[in-house]
Amino acid sequence: MKQHDDNLYQELALLLLKEEDLRRKTEQLLTQAKKVIDPRQEFNKWLQSSEGKRWKEKQFEYQSGKCAYCQEELRFSDAVVHHVIPLKQLGNQANKPENFKLLHQSCNLKISTKIVFLHNKLKELEIEEQKINLKTSQIIKQADLALSK
């Protein structure tokens, strides 16, 4: 009987060792898998591809060379790509050009992972600018009229 127990304990010890080994291997595999689908890496890869570069040029034109956050002038070489909905929240799903805007690095840091609806802000500012332009042209017309009298 004593011999029998000893065998069982030995078997158990062996199983526990195997289990520990399996757990370590699984962890290693998981770490590798995470690296393969790391959304930040995927994004950097895309950004350096010709597709990503073309997108950045087009987007820069679309934003009229201005930062989508502060609306100040932006140099192409300084423009960083901002995820409107952060990678943290959506993972690789956030890696879609519709989710990207070009910003100053400092603006990007200011926003960090807060969600700011830049597109709406851009539209609002465009409308505001149109209103100001209209008012300016009205004032100029009035001034012209006043001067011609």
Q: Check: CB of residue 79 under 8 Å from CB of residue 102.
A: yes
Verify binding: residue 70, Zn ion, rule CB under 5 A.
yes
Site for Zn ion in 109-128 (CB under 5 A): none
Nearest distance from C-beta of residue 81 to Zn ion, angstroms: 13
Q: Check: CB of residue 60 under 8 Å from CB of residue 100.
A: no
Verify binding: residue 68, Zn ion, rule CB under 5 A.
no
Is the Cβ of residue 79 or residue 87 nearer to Zn ion in the bound state?
A: 79
Verify binding: residue 82, Zn ion, rule CB under 5 A.
no
Is the Cβ of residue 87 or residue 101 nearer to Zn ion in the bound state?
A: 101
Residue type, 8: L
Residue type, 60: F
Is the Cβ of residue 87 or residue 103 nearer to Zn ion in the bound state?
A: 103
Cα 85 to the center of its chain, rounded Å: 7
> Which residues lie across from 144 on neighbouring strands?
none
Verify binding: residue 81, Zn ion, rule CB under 5 A.
no
Q: How many CB atoms lie within 10 A of CB 67?
A: 23
Among residues 82, 83, 101, 104, which is the contact residue for Zn ion, using CB under 5 A? 104
| Alpha-carbon gap, residue 64 to 47, rounded angstroms | 20
Is the Cβ of residue 67 or residue 81 nearer to Zn ion in the bound state?
A: 67
Residue ranges that bind Zn ion, judged by CB under 5 A: 67, 69-70, 104, 107
